[in-house]
Structure formats: structure tokens, C-alpha cells
Amino acid sequence: MAAPTHSLAYAGCNFLRQRLVLATLSGRPVKIRRIRARDDSPGLRDFEASFIRLMDKITNGSRIEINQTGTTLYYQPGLLYGGSVEHDCSVLRAIGYYLEALLCLAPFMKHPLKAVLRGVTNDQVDPSVDVLKATALPLLKQFGIDGESFELKIVRRGMPPGGGGEVVFSCPIKKALKPIQLTDPGKIKRIRGMAYSVRVSPQMANRIVDSARSILNKFIPDIYIYTDHMKGVNSGKSPGFGLSLIAETTNGTFLSAELASNPQGQGVTVLPEDLGRNCAKLLLEEIHRGGCVDSTNQSLALLLMTLGQQDVSKVLLGPLSPYTIEFLRHLKSFFQIMFKIETKPCGDELKGGDKVLMTCVGIGFSNLSKTLK
């Protein structure tokens, strides 16, 4: 690729996914040292090793070297190949951990990606599959990534610690991305949600819905929360319940919040009423932060803007999360790209928290792996 191919060196286990994803897209090798070097059990964790195996499956010709203790990783990326992939994700992290990386890479494959991922679909750490389906897919569509093969389907749900869930993600390939101008988030027009319960009483989901509505009904009438109770083999291996809420604005922006119950045998038991109320409050907080992209997808939007055509892209975001700030630093080192960042204090017309207007010129990234027809 056009970028210089000298290796980048990092230390520590933080932001491993960011580094590997950006290394793959830019074609630059990366070396990460001192991965939990001082920990009682040093080196890469199971879920990180599983992530590296997934990267190996979707690329062709990658070179991965890990030392014996697992504290040093050298990754020389190959070509993004795609095609049909099946992967058993580690149950220590949710499928969302792996899916976030696939969302960044899928449009730039040689063959359209069809990935079957198995593991935990909803947990308390990573974005759940429900939220990614409702927020990340519409965001990709803004950049012109669309087609009938573009879908994310939950076949089975799996809660921690046992997992047993399964999702199918398929995405078409794109030669180049459209630049975007997302500067007006619009007003909230409706709230949709999904209350799910597996291996517990189906009544749990209804109790969650009632308590969430008790808060949200004060603000807007158009609220519909679906209940999803999966039975038998589709319910995974562990009991649990949870709620994901999505607020949609008049301009097609999606803001999300979610909560899940504590894993079986860990922590105190959560009442469904409390979970519903707390999730509704989280959604209100996310709406207060605002912006055209919610906080879970900030880095995805910035990456796609960077890789767009050589044209100006603008997006209005809420306060930047620490993860996004680190991602901007990584974008600078991998792609030599800088964003213009303007703070927009909340005036009368922009209610809620302070906003940030991010502007950049795309690098004109072209999908070189895509076969010419």
C-alpha cells in the first residue's frame, strides 16, 4: 500500500484491537511488547488470542509471532480475504468485542464476508449484538455500505459465563467510501428496545419493559420495547436477562444504552425492575451527551471518515470517550491523518452536553483486495 511499511512499536495490552485493525488496513507491521509483563499470569489472555486467531482467519498471508510467555506480539498483516468464516469466540468477552473489529474491516475484503460467531451475545462489558445491529449498521449505511447481503442476525442468545450464543454477520465489499456530513443530530422521535430473557421466567422481560417505560413515558409517547424469550437450544447455556434501548432522531441518528444482569453465581442478583429503570436513565444520559453518533460507535465513524475519498467529512459527536481519544492518536501514527476538532458549547439550540465537531479529509483509501470484474 502507499503507506510506508516500517514497523510500529507499542507497549502494554491496552487497545490491542485498535492496533491490529489499523495495522491490517494500513498494511504496516506492528510489534507490541510488555503485554502484562508484571502480572501474576503474564502475556495475552484467552480472548486476545482468540481475537488474533480471528484476524488470521479473515486475512491471507498474515505473519503472527508470539514469544513463549505471550508478552511480545509481532503482527505483519496480510491481505484481507473474507469469504465464509466460522469462529468460536472466547466466553470471557462478548461477541461484540470481535464484531466491532469485523465492522471496521468487512467492507475492505477481497470476497464478501459471511462470519458465524459463537460465544456470549450479551454481557456487561462489551456492546451487545442488539446494540451493534441497531446503531453500527445504519452508520455503515451512511458511508454507502449497503446491499441485501448486509445483515446481522442473532440465531441464539448466550449469556455469561456459559455462552452458547450464535450470530451471523454478512457484509458486502466496497471499492471506496462516501464522505459524510453529519452535523445536525435532529430531535428524538422514537425509542425502540429489546428486553430479552433466557433460561429464566419469561415474565422477567415484561417486568423490565414496565419499569423502563415508567421513566421514558414522561418524555415521549412513541416507545415500543419488544420482548425476546428464547427457549431450548436457542437460549444458550446460562440464565440471564437484559435490556437494550435505542433512541432514533428525526435525522436518522441512533443513540443506544444497554444493561445486562450479573452472570450466574457472580455478584448480587439484580431485580428486573431496577435493571429497566437504570437502563432508561443510561439512555437519557446518552441523549444528553448527544451527537450524530453514539459513544460506542465514535471510533468506527472516525475510521470510516479517515478511509473515505479525498474529500471533507464532518461529524458532530458528544464528549469524546477515552477510547476514542486514543484511537485518534493511533490514526495519526498509522495513517498520518489529523482531525480538526472544534468544541461546540451547548447553546440554546443544542440542548444537552458540549459537542465536538470533527472534520477531516479522507486519505482516499481504495479497496485493493477487491477483485476486478
What are the 10-residue block averages of pLDDT along the chain, 373 residues in total?
70 95 96 94 95 96 95 95 96 97 95 97 96 97 93 96 96 92 93 96 96 96 95 93 97 96 91 97 94 95 95 95 96 95 75 89 83 56
Buried b (16+ CB within 10 A) or exposed e, 145-160: beeeebebebebbbbb
Collapsed DSSP state (helix, strand, coil) of residue 172: coil
Q: Tell me which residue has cell 441497531.
A: 134
- Burial status of residue 355 (CB atoms within 10 A of its CB: 0-12, 13-18, 19 or more): buried
Kind of pairing between the strands at 8-11 and 30-33: parallel
Q: 178 with 143: CB under 8 angstroms?
A: yes
Q: 123 with 244: CB under 8 angstroms?
A: no
Do you know the residue count of the chain?
373
Closest residue by Cα to residue 104 from 286, 237, 303: 303
Q: Which three cell numbers stand for residue 360?
A: 477531516
Residue 98's pLDDT is what?
98
Closest residue by Cα to residue 104 from 181, 21, 172: 21
Whole-number Å distance between alpha carbons of 355 and 45: 36
Collapsed DSSP state (helix, strand, coil) of residue 192: strand
First to last CA, the chain: 21
Q: Tell me which residue has cell 468506527.
A: 300
Please give the C-alpha separations between residue 358 and each of 149, 212, 298, 309, in angstroms, as whole numbers.
Answer: 31, 33, 11, 16
Q: 243 with 226: CB under 8 angstroms?
A: no
Q: Bridge-partner residues for 228, per DSSP?
A: 196
Residue 334's pLDDT is what?
95
Question: Angle 298-306/322-335 helices, nearest 10 degrees?
Answer: 20
Whole-number Å distance between alpha carbons of 180 and 144: 10
Residue 6's pLDDT is what?
80
pTM: 0.94
Q: Which three cell numbers stand for residue 138?
A: 445504519
Residue 147's pLDDT is what?
87
Residue 138's pLDDT is what?
96
List of residues 6+ apart from 29 with CB closer than 8 A: 5, 7, 8, 23, 74, 75, 76, 77
List of residues 6+ apart from 213 with CB closer than 8 A: 223, 225
Residue 310: DSSP 8-state: S
Whole-number Å distance between alpha carbons of 15 and 309: 26
Collapsed DSSP state (helix, strand, coil) of residue 139: helix
Strands (E), the chain: 8-11, 30-33, 59-60, 63-66, 73-76, 79-80, 82-88, 111-119, 151-156, 165-171, 181-182, 188-198, 223-230, 240-249, 254-260, 312-317, 340-344, 355-361
Whole-number Å distance between alpha carbons of 31 and 71: 11
